[in-house]
């Protein structure tokens, strides 16, 4: 079961305070702690493309996609 929502703070390209709603609570807490303070690029390089069982994505992959989309939106007008 994947989370229904992911939220985080962006400071430039640094991701902090990652919060998931739903999903596998223990694993998502661990992922949040491990990547807190990493850049968008670092998170993508570690997590993008990870799958879960037969699913083409995973909670980690969805986090990588979400931080990239948020970062791209935040720099689009710059």
Residue 2 has pLDDT above 90, yes or no: no
Greater confidence, 11 or 24? 11
Task: Say what the pTM is.
Answer: 0.91
Per-position DSSP letters for the chain, written without gaps between them: --EEEEEEEEETTEEEEEEEEES-HHHHHHHHHHHTT-BHHHHHHHHTT--BTTBS--HHHHHHHHHHHHHHHHHTT-
Question: pLDDT tens across 27-45, in order?
Answer: 999 999 999 999 999 999 9
pLDDT of residue 78: 64
Domain segments of the chain: what residues? Answer: 3-75
């Amino acid at each position: 079961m994947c989370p229904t929502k992911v939220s985080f703070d962006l400071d430039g390209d640094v991701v902090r305070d990652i919060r998931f709603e739903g999903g596998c609570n223990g694993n998502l807490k661990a992922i949040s702690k491990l990547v807190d303070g990493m850049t968008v690029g670092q998170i993508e390089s570690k997590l993008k493309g990870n799958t879960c069982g037969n699913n083409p994505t995973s909670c980690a992959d969805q986090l990588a996609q979400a931080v990239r989309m948020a970062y791209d939106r935040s720099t689009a007008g710059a």
